[in-house]
């Protein structure tokens, strides 16, 4: 069976910046506190009249240009997002229409911050069967729409962005393994309640209680460190690998302190745990492809790269690919 290899990567980050100082006008916080507790200096915010699909389209166009890909070759598109343009149709369909593509199997996956890893595993399984030859995997979120600017426990963390990879069969190497998990017991600790069938958008619940992202930051932090570390160890063990065999760890970018704690727990040198959170914040499903995109020049042929993520649900996992 062939591997599913990453043969292209693209990204898009909106031009508008929201700095820590900008946030000081909405709530009682400070640049110093935010940098110390999260490592974040600024995040990007999508213009109001645009949506998740617009960022995804730009990321895909960036990939096609940089890697000389013909988008007409795409036979499947999986979009990891928890901020779709609308409940129906899938954002994947909207992206296809904007790119002028038809006859592509396209659908969305919602696994919050773990969405890209979930979609990547599904896409690699499609390629490994031999039935799909060119699969796009997008991670894109316009999470700023769901952030309450007055809530300092969340507004400091999140930003918008989109990343995409192209997968195709290869005998040389590619996605080697993935270990993914979910546990619904985590559903109370990180959520956006309104807009679904339980609390439709015209619900009588007070706006503040259900429209914005809410979290128990400390609980999420603790579970994130433990679950990402455990998932990495599981995927290492079942591939008979040691942490020394891994050239790069690319973790979900939630908080620099979470990245550092996972790195310490795995005992990987700090300079091999890649991070771009300082200037982008947490872009939900986009963090991992954007981090690969921005660090692509560091990767050498044959390098082993371990990805790990944790998000709402709870959902989490880790995967390894050979570059």
In this complex, which beta carbon is closest to ligand ACO, that of residue 110 or of residue 203? Answer: 110
Question: Which of 218, 237, 269, 302: binder of ligand ACO (CB under 6 A)?
Answer: 218
68 is catalytic: no
User: Restricting to residues 149-208, which ones interact with ligand ACO according to CB under 6 A?
Assistant: 152-153, 156-157, 190
Question: Which of 8, 18, 29, 192: binder of ligand ACO (CB under 6 A)?
Answer: 29
Contact assessment for residue 52 and residue 140, using Cβ atoms and an 8 Å cutoff = yes
Q: Which of 232, 252, 276, 291 is catalytic?
A: 252
Rounded-to-integer distance, Cα 225 and Cα 71, Å: 38
Rounded-to-integer distance, Cα 176 and Cα 192, Å: 34
Q: What is the closest distance, in whole angstroms, from the C-beta atom of residue 182 to ligand ACO in the complex? A: 14
Our finding on whether 26 is near ligand ACO (CB under 6 A) is no
223 is catalytic: no
Report CA Rg, the chain.
Answer: 19
Rounded-to-integer distance, Cα 289 and Cα 283, Å: 10
Our finding on whether 36 is near ligand ACO (CB under 6 A) is no
E strand or H helix that includes residue 228: helix 217-238
291 is catalytic: no
Our finding on whether 220 is near ligand ACO (CB under 6 A) is yes
Rounded-to-integer distance, Cα 199 and Cα 174, Å: 42
Q: Which of 93, 113, 155, 255 is catalytic?
A: 113
Distance of CA 178 to the CA centre of its chain: 15
| Residue corresponding to tokens 């990987």 | 268
Binding site for ligand ACO (CB under 6 A): 29, 33, 37-38, 113, 152-153, 156-157, 190, 215, 217-218, 220-221, 224, 252, 254-255, 282, 310-311
């Amino acid at each position: 069976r062939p591997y599913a290899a990453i043969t292209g990567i693209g990204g898009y980050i909106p031009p508008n910046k929201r700095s820590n100082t900008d946030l000081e006008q909405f709530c009682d916080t400070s640049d110093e506190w935010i940098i110390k507790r999260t490592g974040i200096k600024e995040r990007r915010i999508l213009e109001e009249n645009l949506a998740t699909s617009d960022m995804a389209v730009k990321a895909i166009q960036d990939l096609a240009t940089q890697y000389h890909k013909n988008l007409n070759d795409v036979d499947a598109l999986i979009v990891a997002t928890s901020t779709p343009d609308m409940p129906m149709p899938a954002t994947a369909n909207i992206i296809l229409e904007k790119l002028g593509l038809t006859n592509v199997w396209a659908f969305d996956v919602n696994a919050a911050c773990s969405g890209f890893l979930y979609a990547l595993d599904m896409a690699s399984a499609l390629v490994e069967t031999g039935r799909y030859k060119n699969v796009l995997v997008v991670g894109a979120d316009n999470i700023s729409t769901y952030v309450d600017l007055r809530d300092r426990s969340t507004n400091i963390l999140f930003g918008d962005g989109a990343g995409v990879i192209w997968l195709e069969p290869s005998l040389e190497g590619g996605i080697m393994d993935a270990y993914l998990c979910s546990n619904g017991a985590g559903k109370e600790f990180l959520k956006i309640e309104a807009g679904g069938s339980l609390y439709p958008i015209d619900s009588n619940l007070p706006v503040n209680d259900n429209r914005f992202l809410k979290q128990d930051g400390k609980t999420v932090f603790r579970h994130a460190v433990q679950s990402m570390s455990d998932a990495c160890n599981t995927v290492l063990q079942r591939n008979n690998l040691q942490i020394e065999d891994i050239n790069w760890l690319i973790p979900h970018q939630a908080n620099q302190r979470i990245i550092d704690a996972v790195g310490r727990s795995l005992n990987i040198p700090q300079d091999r745990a890649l991070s771009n959170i300082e200037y982008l914040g947490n872009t939900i499903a986009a963090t991992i492809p954007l981090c690969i995109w921005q660090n692509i020049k560091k990767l050498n042929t044959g390098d082993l790269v371990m990805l790990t993520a944790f998000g709402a649900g709870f959902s989490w996992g880790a995967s390894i690919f050979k570059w």
